[in-house]
Amino acid sequence: MVGTSAEQTLIKADELRARLGDVVVLDCRFNLADPGAGARAYVDGHIPSAHYLHLGRDLSGPVAAHRGRHPLPPAADFAARMARLGIDRNTPIVAYDDNRFAFAARLWWMLRALDYREVRLLDGGLAAWLAAGSGLDTGTPSPTPVTAPVVGDYRGKLDMQAVRRAREAGAQLLDSRDAPRYQGLEEPIDPVAGHIPGALNLPWQEASDAEGLALSPQAQRERLAVLPADRDVVVYCGSGVTACVNLLALELAGYRGARLYPGSWSDWCSYEENLEELA
């Protein structure tokens, strides 16, 4: 299980500053409690040349009875959105947020799942940029659109029925939410508390330190050692967003092939047959 090196997945603030003219920077800041906060923060100041992507409008599709609170947008629509920003599959991309990869990792996973080749995350996010003495900009860049690539569906995504089949085939589910939500002690968002039976819990915040810097590959491996070495891994959270931070952790640790359940708990608990299993 040899994965992509940390150097190919993360970028430090000093290196980004030196490469600003060579990469497209994407600001993914968002607040689930205040969906407009990220866009307002972008207007107030962002890394120079960065474009803003909104979790609901750009990184999610229409919400329906099922598929969860933040379903993936149709792949062709997402590729077209990237093309309008001048991004094709060979464009060097750096994404950041201000919340320990919570939203930038979602973008990272989406791009990687559609075979965009050079996608990196700013280690430590906006705080690391500022701590390195780098300034912010308030201008809005004008991209040069490119032709959108022809894309298939997101590689490594599973819907609810596919998750049930994977579980029956022996896959290990990994719940990325806070422990109280996993344990069913509280549920501030979804209508039902609990977790998918058989899932292990590794809260996504533990993939980084208090400063928002990703743990070392060795520390990621130690944290993920609870996962059975001989089983496929399916990762989920509340709505398929912060689960991508654990997918990032798996990548940094050298694990390949872990899959995402984008609908996550918000989709799982929308099916009556799943609720019967919880009873």
Residue 126 has pLDDT above 60, yes or no: yes
Q: Is 86 exposed, middle or buried (0-12, 13-18, 19+ CB in 10 A)?
A: middle
The total domain count for the chain is 2
Predicted local distance difference test score (pLDDT) of residue 180:
98
Predicted local distance difference test score (pLDDT) of residue 278:
80
Predicted local distance difference test score (pLDDT) of residue 2:
40
Predicted local distance difference test score (pLDDT) of residue 276:
86
Q: CA distances (Å), 231 to each of 50, 76, 168, 278, in order? A: 39, 32, 12, 23
Looking up residue 104, the CATH number of its domain turns out to be 3.40.250.10
Same domain, 172 and 215: yes
The tokens 């629509």 sit on which residue? 77
Residues of the chain above pLDDT 90, percent: 95
Predicted local distance difference test score (pLDDT) of residue 157:
98
Residue 3 has pLDDT above 80, yes or no: no
Predicted local distance difference test score (pLDDT) of residue 5:
67
Same domain, 127 and 184: no
Q: CA distances (Å), 243 to each of 47, 131, 152, in order? A: 25, 27, 22
Q: What is the mean pLDDT of residues 49-69?
A: 97
Confidence (pTM): 0.96
Residue that terminates a domain, selected from 88, 115, 131 = 131
Catalogue the active-site residues: 237
139 in Cβ contact with 122 (< 8 Å): no
Domain hosting residue 69, numbered range: 6-131
Residue that terminates a domain, selected from 131, 150, 176 = 131
Average of per-residue pLDDT values in the chain:
96
Same domain, 95 and 173: no
Residue that terminates a domain, selected from 115, 131, 147 = 131
Residue 4 has pLDDT above 70, yes or no: no
Same domain, 170 and 105: no
Residue 140 domain flag:
no
pLDDT tens for residues 160-185?
A: 999 999 999 999 999 999 999 999 99
Q: How confident is the model at residue 279 (pLDDT cuts 50, 70, 90)?
A: low
Residues of the chain above pLDDT 70, percent: 98
Same domain, 123 and 169: no
Same domain, 223 and 116: no
Residue 110 domain flag:
yes
Q: How confident is the model at residue 277 (pLDDT cuts 50, 70, 90)?
A: confident
